[in-house]
Structure 1
Amino acid sequence: MTTWPDDDVILYDGICVFCSRWVQFVIARDAAKRFRFTPIQSPYGTRLAQAFGIDPKEPDTNAVVHGGRAHLKSDAALTVLSNLPGWGWTRALFAVPKPLRNAVYSVVARNRYRIFGKYDSCFVPDAELRRRVLE
């Protein structure tokens, strides 16, 4: 895992419909407003992606910085979910072997544009969310 100075930052593909809905899902459940967000297409998101070895032009994973460490693929999703109120039960899914979790994650990631679609430009947050977006 790589370290990063900002904490509780979710890196996502801003043109991916599925990824943008993931961000909206987190926002709706993150009552403490713990998580902040950055699209991979932003200057900050691009730097973050490159630091984690993610190709910003062909991202194959989202990521979350939590506890000062970068979590990728299924670890990222489970880390975020398990830190949302009422979703702590998802910690049990860490018991599933990581290669299996990541294989499922990768199938969805590879096919996300085909299945869920893609925006022409980066998802634009409303004013409330904009305060939680790092660009």
Structure 2
Amino acid sequence: MLESWKDKYIVFFDGECGVCNFWVQWVLERDHHNRFMFASLQSDFGQKFLSERGLETKVFNTLYLWKPDQYYLIKSRAVLQIANILGGVYKLSAAAKIVPRFLSDMAYDLVSRNRMKIANQKCYLPDREQKKKFIEV
């Protein structure tokens, strides 16, 4: 199982955030080409990813997209790349890359700061097939 994640895009998210869990569910439902796997930032796998890069390991207000052995993106650039990878109509989001990163990250940070107010704190439970896309180690 652990070897299967190395050729995927890994989405790291706050496992305790309703908005983040909604976003994960949204991507899962649209990942028709099985390109993504997911790990919470609180998991051992997530903590290892963060600590190996000298990133914050206690505050989980940033979404990360990692392509192993290649790159990782954060915040708005991660969101835009995820949409681009999903393809189809979501590729149109690439046009948002003309917005300077500091502005798109300001919008991302605004949502991030208010995410607990925005979120309906219902717990998301993936189905059996979706559960295979989560890295828990």
Fold match by TM threshold 0.5: yes
**2:50 counterpart residue number:** 49
Give 2:87's aligned residue.
85
CA shift for structure 1 position 52: 4.0
Give the alignment's Cα RMSD to 1 decimal. Answer: 2.0
Name the CA distance, whole Å, in 2 between partners of 1:43 and 1:10. 14
Q: Deviations over 1:94-132 (max 9, x none)?
A: 11000000011011111111221546xx85433211211
Kept in 2: contact 1:18–1:112 (CA 8 A): yes
Give yes or no for contact 2:14–2:61 (8 Å, CA) kept in 1.
no
Q: Find the aligned partners of 1:57 and 1:81 in 2 and give their Cα distance.
A: 27
CA distance in 2, matches of 1:88, 1:75: 13
- For 1:1-135, list aligned pairs within 5 A: 6=6, 7-66=8-67, 68-86=70-88, 87-118=90-121, 124-135=125-136
Closer, same or farther in 2 for the Cα pair 1:105/1:42, shift >3 Å?
same
What residue identity is the alignment partner of 1:32? Answer: H
Secondary structure of 1:56 counterpart: coil
Deviates more, 1:99-108 or 1:61-70: 61-70
Question: Is the 2:22–2:124 contact (alpha carbons within 8 Å) kept by the matching residues of 1?
Answer: no
Q: Name the % identity.
A: 31
2:103 maps to a residue whose letter is L
Q: Distance in 2 between matches of 1:31 and 1:50?
A: 31
Cα deviation for residue 58 of structure 1 reads 1.2
Structure 1, unmatched stretches of 5+, are none
Task: Tell me the distance in 2 between the aligned counterparts of 1:107 and 1:53.
Answer: 24
Alignment: residue pair count: 129
Alpha-carbon distance in structure 2 between the residues aligned to 1:52 and 1:59: 15
5+ residue gaps, structure 2, are none
Distance 1:110 1:52 in 2: 23
